Amino acid sequence: MGNQQTICLRSEDYPIRVRFCEWMLNKIAEDETFLERILFTDELVFDIKGPFHLHHMGIKTIKWVGIIGDTIIGPIDFPRRMTASFYADFIEWPLQDLLQSNNVVDDVIFQHDSAPAHNSKSVVNLLNKRYPESWIGARRDVGSMISWPNRSADLNSVYFFYYAAIRSQINNEEIQSLEDLEERISRAAATVTSEMLGRVRTNFVIRLRKCIEMGGGRFEQLL
């Protein structure tokens, strides 16, 4: 989920992140459409933080968001406790309708992280059926193109771009209720436009290179 950026990297993460970034750069070099065909996804946690909100700390909502090419899909309401069954059903039906309604139908490469529901057998089987050899996540030995590195939201545009853009707008003053939080998310989401996404892809490539430069370590201080 989208709060994974705050988790410290472990020693085993560094070489995995380097290998992933090298693989991604090679794929982008081989196929100029590769990056634009990746559907980056994440479940984002929006809660109430800061000095205004001591009396409302239990208020939060979960949103699923996807970014592919110049298209933003979502935000879509997700349950606080996502089950593998719910997630598989979402991929099978609502997601396909959302992609079609946004004219995203061909050669999609699906990406998600290693959240427990993402790694269930039912979800893996569905991805192998729906996106054969065209998805990123879980372990490579179960059918994904490459494993998504753990604790690596800094490489996911849904987190480092979309979540950051929304988060920066919603906590500027006191939020009174869940409805208030939802309204602020909707207003903030309307300010995030497809015209921004070309720059996001450029930034993603820079992030890949900086991650390699740092030996797989955190790199955002170099941006």
- Taking only the tens place, the pLDDT of each residue in 105-134 is 789 999 999 899 999 999 999 999 999 999
Q: What is the pLDDT of residue 70?
A: 94
Higher pLDDT, 75 or 169: 75
Task: Say if CB 66 and CB 40 are below 8 A apart.
Answer: yes
User: With pLDDT > 90 as the criterion, what percentage of the chain qualifies?
Assistant: 75
Residue 64: φ, ψ to 5°: -95, 135
Task: Say if CB 49 and CB 83 are below 8 A apart.
Answer: no
Q: Kindly report which listed range (2-6, 9-13, 189-193) carries the lowest average pLDDT score.
A: 2-6
Higher pLDDT, 177 or 84: 84
Whether the pLDDT of residue 6 is over 60: the answer is no
Q: What is the pLDDT of residue 172?
A: 66
Q: What is the pLDDT of residue 194?
A: 84
* Domains in the chain with CATH codes: 4-210 (3.30.420.10)
Q: What is the pLDDT of residue 111?
A: 98
Q: What is the pLDDT of residue 51?
A: 43
How would DSSP label each residue in 15-30? Answer: HHHHHHHHHHHHHHHH
Q: What is the pLDDT of residue 123?
A: 95
Rounded to an integer, what is the distance from CA 15 to the centroid of its chain? 21
Quote the mean pLDDT of the chain. 90
Q: What is the pLDDT of residue 143?
A: 85
